[in-house]
């Protein structure tokens, strides 16, 4: 018998039934694989290593991406309550370096123990992000109207090199 089973009888022209969703709410086999905990840990360690490398580059130190230094940075990156993105930790390092590098007394505190302690890091992050907002606002004030419209508050990417290089007319042609 070549007739389809009775459970699959549909009126002519009707669509076949859609596949039933998986327990996760997506089609079976089509859901993206979540990042494994092992891969997440590796990504966090790599990010922590980059933060420490930036600290070393700015301060001329040699903090290793292991032990207590690594654990402090990892704690900020992976904090369950308030994880801090890698870019913000790098901003903390750069901001505190700018503030403290000229002060003999404070230069010694450019270290993971001080920068990445929970309470300190939150305070330094707020200051670094405030400084970043002020720098962007200042840069936006020097852009032409067309560049400010193109920027739309997201980043300082102007349409004219004149906005970036006001003192060098050779670079003023449009980008």
The per-residue DSSP string of 37-94 comes to HHHHHHHHHHHHHHHHHHHHHHHT----SSHHHHHHHHHHHS-SSS---HHHHHHHHH
pLDDT digits (tens, 9 = 90+) for 10-20: 555 555 554 44
Query: Rounded mean pLDDT of 82-103?
Result: 93
Between 52 and 141, the higher pLDDT residue: 52
Between 11 and 110, the higher pLDDT residue: 110
How is residue 41 written in tokens?
A: 């840990």
**Rounded Cα–Cα distance for residues 113 and 126 (Å):** 18
Name the pTM for this structure.
0.62
Between 148 and 132, the higher pLDDT residue: 132
Q: What is the mean pLDDT of the chain?
A: 75
User: Is residue 171 over pLDDT 60?
Assistant: no
Pick the range with the lowest mean pLDDT from 4-8, 29-33, 119-123: 29-33
């Amino acid at each position: 018998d070549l007739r389809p089973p009775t459970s699959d009888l549909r009126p002519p022209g009707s669509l076949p039934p859609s596949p039933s969703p998986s327990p996760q709410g997506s089609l079976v086999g089509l859901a993206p694989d979540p990042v494994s905990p092992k891969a997440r840990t590796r990504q966090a360690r790599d990010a922590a290593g980059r933060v420490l490398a930036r600290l070393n580059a700015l301060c001329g130190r040699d903090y290793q991406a292991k032990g207590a230094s690594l654990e402090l940075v990892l704690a900020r990156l992976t904090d369950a309550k308030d994880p801090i993105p890698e870019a913000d930790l790098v901003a903390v390092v750069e901001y505190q370096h700018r503030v403290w590098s000229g002060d003999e007394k404070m230069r010694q505190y450019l270290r993971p123990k001080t920068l990445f302690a929970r309470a300190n890091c939150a305070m330094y992050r707020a200051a670094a992000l405030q400084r970043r907002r002020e720098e962007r606002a200042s840069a936006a004030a020097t852009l032409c109207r067309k560049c400010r419209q193109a920027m739309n508050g997201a980043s300082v990417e102007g349409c004219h090199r004149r906005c970036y290089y006001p003192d060098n007319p050779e670079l003023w042609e449009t980008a």
